[in-house]
Structure 1
Amino acid sequence: MGNYDALLVLSFGGPEGPDDVMPFLENVVRGRGVPRERLLEVAEHYQGFGGVSPINQQNRDLVEALRPVAGVPVYWGNRNWHPFGEDTVRRMKDDGVRRAAVFATSAFAGYSSCRQYYEDIARISVEGGPELVKMRHFGDHPGFVEAMADHTRQALARLGRDDARLVFTAHSIPVSMARSAGPEGGLYEAQLRRSAELVNEALGRAGRPWDLVWQSRSGPPQVPWLEPDVCDHLRKVDAPAVVLVPIGFVSDHMEVVYDLDTEARQVAEEVGLPMERAATPGTHPAFVRMVRSLMDEPEPVPCALTCCPAPVRPAPARHA
C-alpha cells in the first residue's frame, strides 16, 4: 500500500483580492502567447466577484475536512498562486516528511488535468525533500459518483420536477489534446462519459437520456475545441427543464460560478428553460472518504512520458 507520512492537496490556485487578479492570470498563461485583451476580459469575471476566486477557500475547507480522517498531516499547495507548491514542499521537508501522497484536484486524464500535475510534482520537488506520489484518476470512484449523484438529486428536488434532463458539463479542451489524452487517445472524453453514466445510474435513471457538453473554452477561434458549448446546447435542447451537472470539476470555483451560474443561467432565462445546477463534490463526506481511500490503494504506476503530451502552442506574433 501507499505507506505515506503526509498528504499534499495540489491545486490550481486563484486570486484572493483585486490586486491579485492580473498577476495570477499572467502566471496561468505564462509562455502561451495569450493576448492581454483576453486576460483583461477574464479579469473582469474575477473582479465581478471582488477579485476573489472561490477555489482557495474551498481547498482550505477540503484540507480541514481531510485532517480528521487522513491519519497523516495534510498540506496544500497551488500551481499558480499562493500557497505555491514549491513553498509547501519546502515546508514539508523542514517538517521531516519523507513520502507524501499527492491528491490533484482534477479527476480525469489529459494534459492540463493530469500530465501537468506530474510536471508540477517534478518542478516543486526539492533535494532531500519528500518523495511525491500522485494518486490515480478518480472519476469512476464510488465516492466521487456518490457525491455527484447526491448533489444532483438535491438539484432535481429544488427544481421540483423529475422530467428534467441531466446535462453534464466539463472543461472544453482542443480537439487535438482530447485525441491524445491517455495511452491510446480519447481518454479524457471517455472517462467523463463513464462518470456521467455512473451518476445517471446511481440516480435510478438508467436508460434515460443525458448529455455531455463543454464549457470555459479559451482558445483562438481557428483552433477546434470540444463542442457543443453549454450555452449553445441550452438554446437548442429538447427538454422541459435541465439540471447542469459539472462532472468535470471537484469544487465550485470561478469557471463553475461564472460560466454556469452566470452565463448559462442567463441563457436559460432568455429561452424560458427551467434550470438548476448541481454542486460539485466539494467537501461531501463520500468525496472526503474517497481521498483517504486512494491513499490505501497500491501505488499507481506513472503514465509514460509520451502520454497526454503538452499542446503545441502557436508561436507569438513577432513585431519589427
Structure 2
Amino acid sequence: MTLTNGEVGRLVPGATPAASSGPEHVEEPVAYDAILLASFGGPEGQDDVIPFLRNVTRGRGIPEERLEEVAHHYRAFGGVSPINDQNRELKAALEAELAKRGIDLPVLWGNRNWDPYLRDALTEAHERGFTKLIAVGTSAYSSYSSCRQYREDYAMALEETGLGGVIQIDKVRQFFDHPGFVEPFIEGTRDGIAALEAQGIPRDHIHVLFATHSVPTDDAIRSGPRDRDFGEGGAYAAQHLAVAEVVVREVADGIGWDLVYQSRSGPPTQPWLEPDINDRIVELAGQGVKGLVIVPLGFISDHMEVKWDLDTEALETSEENGITAVRVPTPGVHAAFVSGLVDLVLERRDGVPTAERPALTDLGPWYDVCRPGCCENIRLGFKPALAGIAP
C-alpha cells in the first residue's frame, strides 16, 4: 500500500528494504537470517529482584519503597519470575517446530529488562553473521508497553551495540487475533465452563472474566494508529474486546462476561483502565454468580502477573466471596500457538498476500509496519523506534 501524503518521504529506520518504505503489510519476500524472540525478562533469584525492578521503572522516578511493595510478589516465589523458563521453553518449541518443517532459521532470545538482554542477542547475531532479523515480541496487543516500547528497545539495543546500519530488524504483526493465539483460550474457556458445570454450578450462574494488564488511560487512548477511531480505550481495549467476543461466540454463548483489568501500578491520581478484576468479582458475588472462568486473555504465558494477580489475589477474592473460580491456561507452548508464531514469521519471509493472512476479528490482520505516532506515550514523548514509521 502506498503512503499517504503525510508519510511520503519517510523511511522506516533499521528495516529491511521490503519494509523501509513503510507499507502497512509487506507482501515482498525477505530472506531473514534469524528470529529474534524478544521478551520482558524477569529476576531469577532474590538478589535480582530490586535491580530488575529498577530496570523496569528506569526514568520514571519510582521511589524505593514502592519497588519493595512490588518486590513482595516476586519474593513470594523465591525471587524467581517464571517468565525466563517459559521463554526457554518457547524458544525450544519454536526450534522444534522449525526443524519439523525443515526451516533453517535460528532463534535468538533477548529480554528488555533482564539477562539475556536484547543487546546480547544482537551481539550473538553479529558474531554469527546474521544481518536480517524478524522479531517476535511476546506480547499480542497494541499499546505503548506491549508494542512501541519493544520497538524502542530494539532501537536502543542497536545503538548500544553499535550495530545500527549493520543489522536490520523487522517485526511480525501484533497477533491478538491470529488463530494460533486465540485457539488455546477457546479450548481453555470451554474446559473451564465444563469443570464448573461438573461441580454442579448451573450455566446461568457462571460468568467469564477476560483479564488483561491495565495501562494508563492516556496510553490506551493513543494505542493503535492515529487515523482510526477505536472508541474508548483505543486499539488496546478494542482488540481485547474483539477477541473476547470470538471466544464467547465459540464456547460461551449465553454466559455473562466482562473484560477486566489487573496489575495497576500507577499513582492514584493517574487514571488507568478499569474495572479492576477484584472489584468486579465482589460485584458479581452480589449478583448471585457462583462460578467464574478467569481467562488471562492479555498474556501469552504464566507471567508473575498471572501467578500473583490472578492465581493468588483473584482466586482468593473469589473464595472470600463464595465463588468457585477456575483460571484458564495461557497459550505457553500450546502446539497451535507455537505453530502460529512460525506462520507469522513465514508471512514475512514469503511475502504472503494480506488477503491470505488469517485473522479472527474485523480489526486484523494487523499492520506489519507500525503507523506514524502509533502507541504514543504522552509522558515520555517519542523516542527512536524500529519497525514503524516515525515518529
Normalising by the smaller structure, the TM-score range is over 0.9
Q: 1:246 to 1:2 in 2, by over 3 A?
A: farther
Residue 218 (1) aligns with residue 265 (2): yes
Counterpart selection for 2:295 from 239, 245, 255 = 245
The structural deviation recorded for 1:162 is: 6.2
Structure 1 residue runs of 4+, over 4 Å off?
A: none
Q: 1:64 to 1:103 in 2, by over 3 A?
A: same
Q: Deviations over 1:221-275 (max 9, x none)?
A: 0111111100000000132211100100101010000000001111111101110
Match of 2:337, SS? helix
Whether contact under 8 Å (2:290, 2:322) holds in the other structure is no
Whether contact under 8 Å (1:234, 1:268) holds in the other structure is yes
TM-score by length of 2: 0.77
The structural deviation recorded for 1:310 is: 1.5
Aligned to 2:308: 258
The structural deviation recorded for 1:24 is: 0.1
The structural deviation recorded for 1:282 is: 0.4
CA distance in 1, matches of 2:210, 2:91: 27
Match of 2:330, SS? coil
Aligned to 2:242: 194
Q: Deviations over 1:44-81 (max 9, x none)?
A: 11000000000000000000000022321111100000
The structural deviation recorded for 1:207 is: 4.9
The structural deviation recorded for 1:33 is: 1.1
CA distance in 1, matches of 2:194, 2:254: 20
CA distance in 1, matches of 2:185, 2:224: 24
Aligned to 2:214: 172
Letter in 1 for 2:193: L
Computed over aligned residues only, the root mean square deviation of the Cα atoms, in angstroms, reads 1.5
Counterpart selection for 1:86 from 119, 128, 132 = 119
Q: Deviations over 1:166-213 (max 9, x none)?
A: 10001111111111111135100000001111122232x335431100
Q: 1:4 to 1:162 in 2, by over 3 A?
A: farther
Q: 1:162 to 1:252 in 2, by over 3 A?
A: farther
Match of 1:275, SS? strand
Letter in 2 for 1:48: A
CA distance in 1, matches of 2:185, 2:30: 26
CA distance in 2, matches of 1:23, 1:312: 23
Whether contact under 8 Å (1:13, 1:56) holds in the other structure is yes
Following superposition of structure 1 onto structure 2, how do residues 109-258 of structure 1 map, counting pairs within 5 Å?
Answer: 109-125=142-158, 126-127=163-164, 129-159=166-196, 160=198, 161=201, 163=203, 164-183=206-225, 184=228, 186-203=234-251, 205-237=252-284, 238=287, 239-258=289-308
TM-score by length of 1: 0.93
Identity of aligned residues (%): 48
Aligned to 1:75: 108
- Structure 2 portions without partners, runs of 5+: 1-28, 352-366, 381-391
CA distance in 1, matches of 2:255, 2:188: 18
CA distance in 1, matches of 2:171, 2:202: 39
The structural deviation recorded for 1:157 is: 3.6
Residue 57 (1) aligns with residue 124 (2): no
CA distance in 2, matches of 1:2, 1:187: 28
- Structure 1 portions without partners, runs of 5+: 314-320
Number of residues paired by the alignment? 312
Match of 2:369, SS? coil
